[in-house]
């Protein structure tokens, strides 16, 4: 007599077992154990790949539920970004932004702008050269052209320096707000860490070391 739970040799291979074997055929070192049920009493099979602690459970409906062993720590949740920007309540004065932006170009953004190390270096104090008095009879057209060019270059230099100083001032104001927000976040995290340590300490005092 044939045992009711054992498939006779003449019967074709069950479709679930065949499909699972096809799926795992490409995996080297696979060990397949087919049986009447798992330890939890559900019909199916257990697959071990190269000794890895991974278990595939085949249910009666034909669906396979693969889950890592309980000894494996769960991975980070999907969509998390540890480098996300901190929310800072900062609304600069539009007039300050106008003074920090180049006319005709995109407005200066103190939240995203980054200065180079060269731009943030202290500038040396340059002494003005002593004025050379030129007699009126020597102030010809060449003299006035040279003086006009010099005045225009000095004006451009002053405007560029003033623009850079305004940008640094607005950027520094934003960084002050961001620094305060980050300090508050660190204080909250330290408080939460202390609370978690107290919970672990109480647990270890009752149940021993983890």
Query: Model confidence over 96-114: pLDDT tens digits?
Result: 888 899 888 888 988 889 8
92 neighbors 173 (Cβ within 8 angstroms): yes
Task: Please choose, from the candidates 20, 23, 60, 22, the residue with its C-alpha nearest in 3D space to the C-alpha of residue 44.
Answer: 60
Long-range Cβ contact pairs of 93-100 (< 8 A, separation 24 or more) = 96/166, 96/169, 96/170, 97/170, 99/163, 99/166, 100/163, 100/166, 100/167, 100/169, 100/170
pLDDT at 155: 95
pLDDT tens for residues 75-92? 444 444 443 467 788 888
Local structure of 190: helix, strand or coil: helix
Give phi and psi for 38, each to the nearest 5: -85, -175
Both structure tokens of 139 = 């102030």
CB 23 within 8 A of CB 37: no
Average pLDDT over residues 170-175: 92
Rounded to 5°, the CA angle 69-71-74 comes to 80
Mean pLDDT, residues 185-208: 93
For 36-47, how does the pLDDT look when each residue is reduced to its tens digit (9 = 90+)? 444 444 444 443
Length of the chain: 210
Residue owning tokens 């960084």:
175
């Amino acid at each position: 007599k044939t045992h009711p739970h054992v498939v006779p040799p003449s019967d074709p291979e069950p479709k679930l077992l065949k499909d699972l074997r096809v799926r795992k055929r490409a995996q080297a070192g696979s060990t397949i154990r087919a049986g009447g049920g798992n330890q939890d009493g559900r019909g199916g099979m257990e697959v071990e790949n190269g000794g890895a602690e991974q278990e595939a459970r085949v249910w009666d409906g034909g669906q396979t539920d693969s889950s890592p062993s309980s000894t494996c720590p769960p991975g980070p949740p999907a969509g998390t970004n540890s480098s996300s920007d901190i929310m800072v309540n900062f609304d600069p004065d539009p007039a300050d932004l106008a003074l920090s932006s180049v006319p005709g170009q995109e407005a200066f953004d103190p939240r995203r702008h980054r200065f180079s190390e060269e731009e943030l270096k202290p500038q040396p104090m340059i002494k003005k050269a002593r004025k050379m008095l030129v007699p009126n009879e020597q102030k010809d057209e060449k003299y006035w052209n040279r003086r006009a060019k010099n005045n225009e270059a000095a004006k451009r230099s002053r405007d560029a320096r003033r623009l850079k100083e305004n940008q640094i001032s607005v950027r520094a104001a934003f960084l002050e707000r961001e620094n305060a927000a980050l300090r508050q976040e660190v204080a909250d995290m330290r408080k939460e860490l202390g609370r978690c340590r107290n919970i672990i300490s109480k647990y270890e005092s009752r149940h021993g070391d983890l």
